[in-house]
Structure 1
Amino acid sequence: MSAPLPPRTRVFATILERLATPVEEATDYAELRAQRLRLMQSAPGRMVFGTPDRRARAETIEIPLKGRTLRALVHRPTGVGGPRPVIVNFHGGGWVQGSPEQSAWLTSRVAAGTGATVISPSYRLAPEHPFPAAVDDTWEALAWIAEHADSLGLDVDRMGVMGDSAGGNLAAVAAQRSVNEGGPRLRAQVLIYPAVEMYDKFASELRMPHEPVLSSANMSAFAHLYLGDAYGTEDPLASPLRAKSFDDLPPAFILTADHDPLLDNGDHYREALQRAGVPVRYREYPGTVHGFMSLPGVSPGAADAVSDIVDFVAARVVVPR
């Protein structure tokens, strides 16, 4: 049974419903993204979405790929020298909106708390760039970062991936491709309320169709916009839960929210990894909604979760040599 939502979370959800156009009603996706940016940059928005940790220095780099360049936000721990472990983080937003900056509260704290560098690449967004554009961008960005580790001051032997929601999907796909396609050897994957099944509905979505922040209708709209003509595909690059094998994947930390239609996505992925013998830490955070890691100002669970992520990354990525 879900724990009650904190009053401030409910108040924020009510305000969000009034200020933001639901994705299923949107026709201008550039304006949808601009709405989100205006909300984040407003004074109340900064209180809700949090501010970056000053113990981590932020910079922007460009990742040149074939026919395109991706911008990436880098958080480096201050006062730490030598090649650093690296976490490559993929932002959420339903593959339709979002940016590396929306994860800055989280990524800066992971950098400051672990001593690892955290790099958050952008990726092309749907519906202008449907599947597999985001998959290609995040996979190629991961490979580029590993290839240029020396010039970036990174220790490629201590590398992991992280992502929330749509970014959790992309992180899980990247971890699978690293094993299946001979990519970088990853020591860990942090999957924050990941969307790992794009077509079938699990019990949590049927039980909680109208939760704050993310509804079943939102989920369906995001999936159709992202997959386009490929909607309904069984391709594990879209739905990593459909992979033929989970063998040899890196240890995982899967975080879920109890007021989230995606709750069972994370739980089913935990089961799949555990059946394959992959070490998994799993935690469901009480009294939280989808996206709570991006809402530290209204979700007390965010501070608890970031502490857990720091501990996991420190143990699985930073310490091993």
Structure 2
Amino acid sequence: MVNLALGAMEYGTRIDEQTSFRLLDAYVDAGGEWIDTANCYAFWQDPTGHGGQSEELLGRWFAQRPGVRDRVKLATKVGCEPLWPGSWPEHTEGLSSKAIDAALETSLRRLGVDHIDLYWAHRDDRSTPLEETVAAFGKHAAAGTIGRLGLSNYALWRVERMRGLAAELGVMGPSALQLRYSYLQPRPLVRDHAHDHRFGWITDEVLDYAQHNPEQQLFAYSPLMSGAYENRPDRPVHEAFDHPGTTRRLQVLTDLATELGTTRSELVLAWLTGGSPAITPIVGASTPQYLTTALTGTQLDLTPEQREQLDEVW
């Protein structure tokens, strides 16, 4: 199995069904295992202003591919579906017991499955008591409809508080974290402006936490920064990354990629998956070429010297 999750965020909206099916088939045939989506994907692409299109497409794909469900691990999310069109991010479903119950039932129906391998809390809901959220997830884990619980875009102190509450209640706690991460690093204190989620970035503290809590699997979204590593004029590096460290890191990436006969994007994925702790990148491949890049990068082994060459650049 490859250490990669296929992001299906825009499958069924921007990416049409035929293309989506072809990419999903190729991913599984290549040994891909994780497929990542959310109940709110992709509300911003659909005229209704609500999500669910990605889950529905995956449900049709499963229905037309008997046996494929047993070959993959399925992850979806709850918490960010807009309450009404245009209400995101201020007004979303949240993580109350009632919201989780309803969202999980809907996701299972759309996907045509009886369980979710990894169910993500899409972002923290500070308006709901944490005990209520933990108990709700625990109830569904005990019922077998959730295999694992993950937290996305959470502050670490909230992660630990949830783990403590889960232990007190005797229910399943979180065993995965999903945040944004890549080889380039933004300037400090600009993440709120560069990203949608205040705590949505893997920091040194998160890396240290995962390294000393190996039961916590790290997933990284937007690892290739929407094509910014490939010098695409339509996909520039965000201004939050405009600092001397970015210039130096891009140069090292270019030099090493040239030496290895690979691309900068493939090199970034190799750096992510082969480090300590190892990180599972979530790549939203929209074309066969991008999927090939993702698969090739995650199977590229870097020597300790090559990794040091990348790591020593600040």
Query: TM-score by structure 2 length?
Result: 0.34
Asked which structure has the greater RCO (Cα within 8 Å, sep 6+), the reply is 1
What TM-score does the superposition give when structure 1 sets the normalisation length?
0.34
Question: Whose Rg is larger?
Answer: 2
